[in-house]
Amino acid sequence: MSPRAFLAILTVVILAGMAPAQPPRETAEQRDRRMKWFREARFGMFIHWGLYSVPAGEWKGQRVGGLGEWIMHQARIPVAEYETLVHQFNPVRFDAREWVRIAKDAGMKYIVITSKHHDGFCLFDAKNSAYDIMATPFRRDVLKELAAECKRAGIKLCFYHSIMDWHHPDYLPRRPWDPRPGVPAQFDRYVAYMKEQLRQLVRDYGPLGILWFDGEWEGTWTHELGKDLYAYVRSLQPDIIVNNRVDKGRRGMQGMNAPEFAGDYGTPEQEVPAEGLPGVDWESCMTMNDTWGFRKDDHNWKSSADLIRMLVDCASKGGNLLLNVGPTAEGLIPAPSVERLADIGRWMQVNKESIYGTTASRIGKPAWGRSTTKGNRIYLHVFDWPKDRVLRIEGLKAAPRSARLLAAPRAKLPMQQDGSAWLIAVPSVAPDQVDSVIAMDLAPVGR
Ligand code: FHN
């Protein structure tokens, strides 16, 4: 080979390596196949767990405001001080089987857990970092144990991985209170470090359901880097799902996907969009109290009733609910969370078909509750049971053939038409004080 030919080939090889990765080409049918489990699942568990569960909202005897997992930022703790928490993190009561049981019994179909949050601590045996779970007194790879349990239980395992990293010397910008002068920073070296961790997570803990990125909002992370990271992750596992926070397309807490940005679904946070996010897949992530990572002083728990109705609200708008737990430094999911998840599970035992695999309401938002859809069946989620025992249904596009309570499916409920509406005669007492579900079968359209 002539030197000129060799040089030409070498140049092509180098440029190809530098070129941003391209996501795999995908038809609408292929994308629907990839998103199918997510759209059917409707309900997942979010887990924020790491070093921040040790201070749990308090630092040097002082209460620190804000989110539990942000204590390093809120208390302006330098890396050198914060990373000593590694020696205190010893979750001796951690039990992956119990965590997965709690999630599964609640009716959750997937778990998204923080493999690395903004503080940079790796909750797994990271091959390219010593700032990880193996440096703690616990010395067990909790994500490996969780992966095994999720596989055994048929729960999709997913990872939350923060792009922003307050610990890694190459991440920029550094925290103003901790500039670490004299420590050189090279952002592209940080990107390579993060990519190597993602490769390990997919290879050694996968196949994964979702890579849930976050911390994408700082100026160093760009649309180009976001598109490249999306394509890179999809190249590691082509059927993986990646949220919209891989790129710069999140519109604040509304979590709306902007089409020109990478990411498979929108991620509203701490809210359920009033009309959902029409035309895109989406998932609202919510806390049960006010914080994602554990705070010992956060007792502002939402009621089980509100959480059940929140799940129904998401499903009625064609979205998922990702409901958070923040385990303690001992490795326990807080009792109030466990109680609420058990309540949700009891409701799901009777009514799960009205959530799983459903699509958005075809009759809008009725005054008495919500509605979900599955083919020619609509589920009437009655929050406010009619005192006169007559449930009025507006907006049906086809005549109903039958209506039955999911809590008492053998008995057909009497129905009659009233102009454009339909009336269902219901029992005097609601089978469920939070949400009583009626399955109404409609005549196929056109008949
Ligand atoms: O800063 C994070 C926060 O700690 C938490 O992880 C939430 C959960 O979605 N996301 C970011 C705030 O939008």
Q: What is the pLDDT of residues 268-278, one digit of tens each?
A: 999 999 999 99
Residue 266 pLDDT class (50, 70, 90 cuts): very high
Predicted pLDDT at 447: 55
Element containing residue 44 per DSSP (H, E): strand 43-47
Residue partners of 84: CB distance under 8 A and separation at least 6: none
CA atoms within 13 A on the CB side of 393: 28
Q: What is the mean pLDDT of residues 66-74?
A: 98
Residue 381, classed as helix, strand or coil, is: strand
In the beta sheet, which residues pair with residue 122?
116, 132
pLDDT by residue (tens digit) across 323-352?
999 999 999 999 999 999 999 999 999 999
What domains are there in the chain, each with its CATH number?
Answer: 3-354 (3.20.20.80), 369-442 (2.60.40.1180)
For the record, the structure tokens of 95 come out as 């039990």
| Average pLDDT of the chain, as a whole number | 95
At residue 363's C-alpha, the angle toward residues 358 and 367, to 5°, is 110
State if residue 165 touches ligand 1 by the CB under 6 angstroms criterion: no
**Residue of 162, 214, 244, 321 to mutate, ligand 1, most atoms within 8 A of C-beta:** 214
Q: How far is residue 197's CA from residue 124's CA, in Å, rounded to a whole number? A: 10
Residue nearest atom 6 of ligand 1, based on CA coordinates: 292
Q: What is the pLDDT of residues 4-47, one digit of tens each?
A: 766 555 555 454 445 566 777 899 999 999 999 999 999 999 99
For every residue of 215-227, DSSP letters joined together read ---STTS-HHHHH
214 CA to centre of ligand 1 in angstroms: 7
**Pocket-testing residue among 269, 282, 286, 298, ligand 1, by greatest number of atoms within 8 A of Cβ:** 269
Q: pLDDT band for position 299 (50/70/90)? A: very high
For residue 163 and ligand 1, the question of a CB distance below 6 A is answered with no
pLDDT band with cut points at 50, 70 and 90 for residue 295: very high
* Residue type, position 434, single letter: V
pLDDT band for position 223 (50/70/90)?
A: very high
* Predicted pLDDT of residue 10: 53
Which residue in 27, 65, 90 sits closest to 328, CA to CA?
Answer: 90
Which residues does residue 380 pair with via DSSP β-bridges, in sequence order? Answer: 371, 438
Q: Is 283 in the pocket of ligand 1 (CB under 6 A)?
A: no
| Residue 247, ligand 1, Cβ within 6 A | no
pTM for this predicted structure: 0.95
Joined together, the tokens standing for residue 210 give 């979702």
Is a pLDDT exceeding 80 seen at residue 2? Answer: no
Nearest to 251 by CA among 233, 271, 230: 271
CB 362 within 8 A of CB 378: yes
Of the listed ranges 7-21, 43-57, 224-238, 432-446, the one predicted with least confidence: 7-21
pLDDT given at position 8: 59
Cβ of 214 less than 6 Å from ligand 1: yes
The larger pLDDT score, comparing residue 221 to residue 443, is at 221
Q: Give pLDDT tens digits for 344-385.
A: 999 999 999 999 999 999 999 999 999 999 999 999 999 999
CA–CA separation, 431 and 426 (whole Å): 10
3-state secondary structure of 53: helix
pLDDT at 315 over 90: yes
pLDDT for position 336: 98
Is the dihedral angle over the CA atoms 308, 314, 319, 325 positive or is it negative? negative
If one residue of 49, 51, 67, 121 were mutated to test the ligand 1 pocket, choosing by the most ligand atoms within 8 A of its CB, it would be 67
- Between the CA of residue 416 and those of 299, 380, 390, 426, what are the distances in Å? 47, 16, 10, 12
Q: Is 367 helix (H, G, I), strand (E, B) or coil?
A: coil
**CB of residue 119 inside a 6 A radius of ligand 1:** no
269 CB within 6 A, ligand 1:
yes
Contact indicator for 297, 332 with CB cutoff of 8 Å: no
Number of Cβ within 10 Å of residue 284's Cβ equals 26
User: What per-residue confidence (pLDDT) applies to 7?
Assistant: 59
Are 131 and 167 spatial neighbours (Cβ–Cβ below 8 Å)? Answer: yes
Vertex 150, ends 299 and 162: CA angle to 5°? 60
